A and B are shown apart, each in its own frame.
Chain A
Amino acid sequence: MKTVFEISSPGRIGVSLPDLDVPATSEIPPGLLRENGGKTGLPEATEGQILRHYVNLSTMNHHVDKGMYPLGSCTMKYNPKLHENLARIRGLSGLHPLVPDELAAGSLELMYRLGEFLCEITGFEGVSLQPAAGAQGEFCGIMIIKSYHESRGEKQRNEILMPDSAHGTNPATSTLSDCVVVGVESNEYGLVDPEDLKRKVGPLTAAFMLTNPNTLGLFESRIEELTSIVHEAGGLNYMDGANMNALLGIAKPREMGFDVCHLNLHKTFSTPHGGGGPGSGPVICSEELARFLPDPVVIREDDGSIRFSRNQDSFGRLLAFQGNIGVLYKAYAYIRTLGAEGLREVSENALINANYLKSKLADYFDNPFDNGPCMHEFVLSGDRQAKLGVRTLDIAKRLLDYGFHAPTVYFPLIVHEALMIEPTETESLEELDTFVEAMVSIAGEAVEKPYLVTDAPVNTPVLRLDEVKAVKDLCVVEPVDKGENI
């Protein structure tokens, strides 16, 4: 499709602006003016042309409102439409972040209540709504943990333990936080091996970082033992809450021995993913750690008023302002709509849907860690198909032809040819059955007509793209036309 620059023609415009209604009394000194006669190279097109451009682009996307999105670890559930309207109410969207607190009483109260909800759901006492995404939540959590150790004169603790099945953000966060990653092995059941954890903890342990349920979709059954080993060694336990959709109203991280966790509001609490953001990654922690939370925190005064406050021991600030507030509004709306029983139903149905798919696909794909019920997701291996020359990547691409998004592939790293499937609770039995049919059909194709799979996709706006060329002949911006003077 043509780019927006290619539909551009000099003189066109897509807005009607009022005339300047004040006298122009001053000019910018010539030496400070933009080069090339002030040209920026922005497109020139009418409102209708721009709309058509973006609408045509949009039709090339798969999205939740179109079809199932079984992308493991991403919790691609339905995004309620009301929430988009709510976040756009003028009194919420039109508020400047630096107004005095008393002029923002509505938003502050909403944030305070959301913080209370998240504490209740996880069992913790302290909360920061500031982190913009899960990875920033992780950074926030690790900075809190570092501040804690430093406050106890144990600044040397710089090792973050994590299983080999961890999300890539976990080790990347450790490095960003000036810590060292120490890998802990998983056992034959896909769970963290407590014996290996015992060997790895020590006087340098800062934290143990664990996703629970883990990235195989399995609950870490020996969690009490794991968190105790870390506590006894003087470390803290951090939970990556990416998979919290399995636990709403079912279990609380705090009770399992975690000291701090982050939640992904854009996963568990239905705020839309926006094609890759904005998300929101609030951090929730024990009362003991709350004093290290980032600036600013929302507090309730004795007189009932709610305001921003600075913690004396805060590790600092993560964003210029107080977080992705528009996302917080939507998560608040979700929790208010569902209440306690509704949230529990979310997790119950997420578990049932995942176990149902796991059971239905058991005969067609390998499942190296099938030792009983999974939680909200599970990981298959495409090993059987790979031996026939059909790789997991091919299966993923073929699913696109069937109208589904692909599962998460090649993750976690401990499963060969991994296919990580998370249906979420908002899919119906009928839709799950259609997905099963597609998967079974592809498994059959892999045996009988493998080229159908290895050539896939064919029903998509473009065919398989040359990623090597994209790196070698790097083109990340539209070149300026030779005729244009920019």
Chain B
Amino acid sequence: MSRFIPNQNEHREKMLREIGVGEFGDLLEPIPEKYRLKEKLQLPEPISELGLNREFEEFASRNTGAELACFLGAGSYDHFIPAAVDHILLRSEFYTAYTPYQAEVSQGTLQAIFEYQTMIARLTGMEMANASMYDGASSAAEACLMAMRSTRKQRILIAGSLNPRWQDVIRTYLKRDDFEINEIPFLDDGSLDLETAGKLIEGGTAAVLVQYPNYFGLIEDIQPAAELIHGSGGLLIVAADPVALPLLRSPGDAGADIVVGEGQSMGIPMSYGGPYAGFMAASAKLARKMPGRIIGRTTDRAGQTGYVLTLQTREQHIRRDKATSNICSNQALMALANSAYLSLMGERGFREISSQCYHKSHYLEKKLLEIPGISRLFSKIPFFREFVISLPVSSIAFRDRMIEHGILAGLPLVELGEGAMLVTVTEKRTRDEIDRYAMAAAEICGGGTS
């Protein structure tokens, strides 16, 4: 018997007697004989705790990418996580609980998520937020569906400067004949082509979706896009980078109706892609069109404050085929990580993180621009944390050579040119690492030291 199963043979026999069957096999009577497995599953022999630890250490040691200085971003970021975050997540009370269906014994989760909703709403400058979605990309896709439900229009315009993986997810979620997705191209300077957008909007568009800052790290003023789509009765969806928000004008202030984003950079490790947490915030009038769980504050029979799942009639377990989404499990524990992180960082800490990302990325950019042959693409528009450089060598070859220097240099964007590379600098990168990046780049690009 494994260390997870308490009942021994004597218990089993006693229980089978109570049930009124002679042996375990009698309980399988409802399963037709032909389907009952005669052979045991072909799986490796069981392993001890100690052995499993070793096996995992071995797996981990083969992930050599985790040892490099990470200048790779594009939707997942290597940020500092205070130790206290994990201590909160490792409370059994949080991580071994289920969805808070029985509110009276789930106030911990419920209040924590209520506070999470508040933090997301405040950061994004919106009136409300839900309890989280799977990730930023699926949250963006759900926001498109929400906009279509709300406006009863079936066309979505997505910015070409939106993360291409997110574009793929949106296309998957909106894959049906009566839905139309068009792309708004970006101009040579990397900004949204508003003139084309104006034409594409005509004839009924549910929403325009822009990324802020965009996939290339560019900080665009999104208000003109908001005005454009509002003028035709549609909504503006903004896919926002939360780490930029302490510095930048909030999407809500600029006119967004729905704001989505990826919460990974707020206290969640990169973990090879997940679990992360998508957030979704919106204006109050869209509350009933929102997908996912929403926590609300109320009172109990004695008048004490308490929290419950609310507006549940939007959800699948009640509205079934007419629900606003099929989402059930979300990423609650990751939302808790977000709120623990934001609580610890607080007003000042999170702004400091944001500011350091800004300055460190600019420091690297300046260093790189000193190297002959390296230039920045879209250099007229300010950027945050990420920028695109054009290298005199192939960006894939550059990336591979940089690995030899112990550096994950960034993401090659070959669609923008053979030498194009998206480079990210978070607050975690030290000046020494940044200087090493620049020196190695100079060497690879054929120049001297900078």
B40 (CB) vs chain A CBs: closest residue: A340
Selecting from B185-193, B201-209, B224-232, B241-249, the interface stretch reads: B241-249
Does A460 sit within 8 A of B, measured CB to CB? yes
Closest CB-CB distance, B93 to chain A, in whole Å? 4
Does B160 sit within 8 A of A, measured CB to CB? no
Report how far A462 CA is from B99 CA in the complex, Å. 17
Which residue of A102, A121, A426 is within 8 Å of B5 (Cβ)?
A426
Q: Which residues of A contact B351 (CB under 8 A)?
A: 38, 40
- B46 lies within 8 A of A89 (CB): no
Q: Which residues of A contact B117 (CB under 8 A)?
A: 476-477
Selecting from A17-25, A200-208, A379-387, A445-453, the interface stretch reads: A17-25
- B97 lies within 8 A of A61 (CB): yes
- A223 lies within 8 A of B308 (CB): no
A57 (CB) vs chain B CBs: closest residue: B108
- A20 lies within 8 A of B359 (CB): yes
Q: Which residues of A contact B334 (CB under 8 A)?
A: 274, 277-278
Q: Which residues of A contact B340 (CB under 8 A)?
A: 50, 54
Does A218 sit within 8 A of B, measured CB to CB? yes
Does A365 sit within 8 A of B, measured CB to CB? no
- A55 lies within 8 A of B115 (CB): no
Report how far A136 CA is from B449 CA in the complex, Å. 50
Q: State which residues 456-477 of A face B: CB under 8 Å.
A: 457, 460-467, 469-471, 473-477
Which residue of A89, A275, A400 is within 8 Å of B100 (Cβ)?
A275
Selecting from B53-61, B370-378, B439-447, the interface stretch reads: B53-61
- A346 lies within 8 A of B5 (CB): yes
Q: Which of B11, B272, B293, B333 neighbours the largest number of chain A CB atoms within 10 Å of its CB?
A: B272
- B247 lies within 8 A of A33 (CB): yes
Q: Which residues of A contact B42 (CB under 8 A)?
A: 120, 340
A251 (CB) vs chain B CBs: closest residue: B35
Which residue of A77, A104, A221, A411 is within 8 Å of B30 (Cβ)?
A221
Q: Known contacts A168-B320, A339-B46; is A76 also within 8 Å of B98 by CB?
A: yes
Does B417 sit within 8 A of A, measured CB to CB? no
Q: Which residues of A contact B318 (CB under 8 A)?
A: 168
Does B158 sit within 8 A of A, measured CB to CB? no
- B362 lies within 8 A of A276 (CB): no
Does B200 sit within 8 A of A, measured CB to CB? no
- B138 lies within 8 A of A84 (CB): no
- A172 lies within 8 A of B59 (CB): no
- A57 lies within 8 A of B37 (CB): no
Which residue of B4, B52, B92 is within 8 Å of A63 (Cβ)?
B92
Which residue of B11, B21, B102, B104 is within 8 Å of A429 (Cβ)?
B11
- B44 lies within 8 A of A93 (CB): no
Q: State which residues 92-145 of B face A: CB under 8 Å.
A: 92-109, 111-115, 117-119, 121-123, 125, 127-129, 131-132, 134-138, 145
Q: Which residues of B contact A88 (CB under 8 A)?
A: 86, 269
Which residue of A91, A249, A272, A470 is within 8 Å of B40 (Cβ)?
A249
- A66 lies within 8 A of B2 (CB): no
- A96 lies within 8 A of B408 (CB): yes
Does B199 sit within 8 A of A, measured CB to CB? no
- B294 lies within 8 A of A134 (CB): no
Q: Known contacts A35-B249, A168-B317, A319-B137; is A42 also within 8 Å of B343 by CB?
A: yes
Proximity string of chain B (375-398) to chain A, C-beta cutoff 8 Å, 1 when within and 0 when not: 000000010100000000000000
Closest CB-CB distance, A444 to chain B, in whole Å? 20
- B105 lies within 8 A of A405 (CB): yes
Q: Which of A106, A464, A466 neighbours the largest number of chain B CB atoms within 10 Å of its CB?
A: A106
- A466 lies within 8 A of B93 (CB): no
Report how far A5 CA is from B250 CA in the complex, Å. 20
Does A435 sit within 8 A of B, measured CB to CB? no
- B24 lies within 8 A of A251 (CB): no
Closest CB-CB distance, A443 to chain B, in whole Å? 18
- B60 lies within 8 A of A98 (CB): no
Q: Which residues of B contact A470 (CB under 8 A)?
A: 296-298, 308, 310
A-B pairs under 8 A by CB, number: 694
Proximity string of chain B (305-316) to chain A, C-beta cutoff 8 Å, 1 when within and 0 when not: 011101100011
Does A51 sit within 8 A of B, measured CB to CB? yes
B363 (CB) vs chain A CBs: closest residue: A22
- A91 lies within 8 A of B63 (CB): yes
Q: Known contacts A171-B316, A475-B297; is A110 also within 8 Å of B274 by CB?
A: no
Does B450 sit within 8 A of A, measured CB to CB? no
- A463 lies within 8 A of B115 (CB): no
Which residue of A92, A132, A338 is within 8 Å of B66 (Cβ)?
A92
A64 (CB) vs chain B CBs: closest residue: B96
Q: Known contacts A14-B344, A40-B350, A273-B97; is A135 also within 8 Å of B219 by CB?
A: no
Report how far A462 CA is from B353 CA in the complex, Å. 38
- B95 lies within 8 A of A276 (CB): no
Which residue of A22, A39, A135, A270 is within 8 Å of B326 (Cβ)?
A135
Count, chain A residues at interface, CB 8 A? 203
Closest CB-CB distance, A369 to chain B, in whole Å? 12
- B98 lies within 8 A of A276 (CB): yes
Does A415 sit within 8 A of B, measured CB to CB? no
Does A29 sit within 8 A of B, measured CB to CB? yes
- B382 lies within 8 A of A32 (CB): yes
Q: Which residues of B contact A31 (CB under 8 A)?
A: 221
- A106 lies within 8 A of B63 (CB): yes
- B40 lies within 8 A of A341 (CB): yes
Does A58 sit within 8 A of B, measured CB to CB? yes
Closest CB-CB distance, B437 to chain A, in whole Å? 12
Proximity string of chain A (178-218) to chain B, C-beta cutoff 8 Å, 1 when within and 0 when not: 10010000000000000000000000000000000000001
Q: Which of A106, A277, A467 neighbours the largest number of chain B CB atoms within 10 Å of its CB?
A: A277
Report how far A138 CA is from B135 CA in the complex, Å. 17
Report how far A461 CA is from B434 CA in the complex, Å. 51
Proximity string of chain A (101-122) to chain B, C-beta cutoff 8 Å, 1 when within and 0 when not: 0111111011000000100110
- A5 lies within 8 A of B115 (CB): yes
A464 (CB) vs chain B CBs: closest residue: B301
Which residue of B35, B46, B137 is within 8 Å of A337 (Cβ)?
B46
Q: Which residues of B contact A47 (CB under 8 A)?
A: 82, 84, 344
- B108 lies within 8 A of A339 (CB): no
Q: Known contacts A316-B172, A320-B169; is A174 also within 8 Å of B431 by CB?
A: no
Report how far A100 CA is from B64 CA in the complex, Å. 10
Report how far A115 CA is from B342 CA in the complex, Å. 36
Report how far A360 CA is from B20 CA in the complex, Å. 11
Which residue of A102, A105, A251, A277 is within 8 Å of B333 (Cβ)?
A277
- B346 lies within 8 A of A12 (CB): yes
Closest CB-CB distance, A429 to chain B, in whole Å? 4
Does B322 sit within 8 A of A, measured CB to CB? yes
Selecting from A231-239, A283-291, A347-355, the interface stretch reads: A347-355
- A35 lies within 8 A of B362 (CB): no
| With A273-B95, A336-B52, A465-B307 already in contact, 5 other A-B pairs whose C-beta atoms are closer than 8 Å | A22-B431, A95-B66, A223-B32, A461-B105, A474-B284
Write 23 A-B pairs (CB below 8 A) sorted by A numbering.
A22-B434, A33-B249, A40-B347, A42-B342, A50-B344, A61-B107, A71-B98, A86-B53, A96-B408, A133-B330, A134-B329, A172-B320, A275-B109, A278-B334, A318-B172, A320-B273, A325-B272, A345-B1, A352-B27, A425-B4, A457-B105, A460-B105, A476-B287
The 10 closest A-B pairs by CB, nearest first: A91-B60, A321-B273, A274-B333, A103-B65, A316-B172, A97-B273, A99-B65, A276-B332, A106-B62, A278-B275
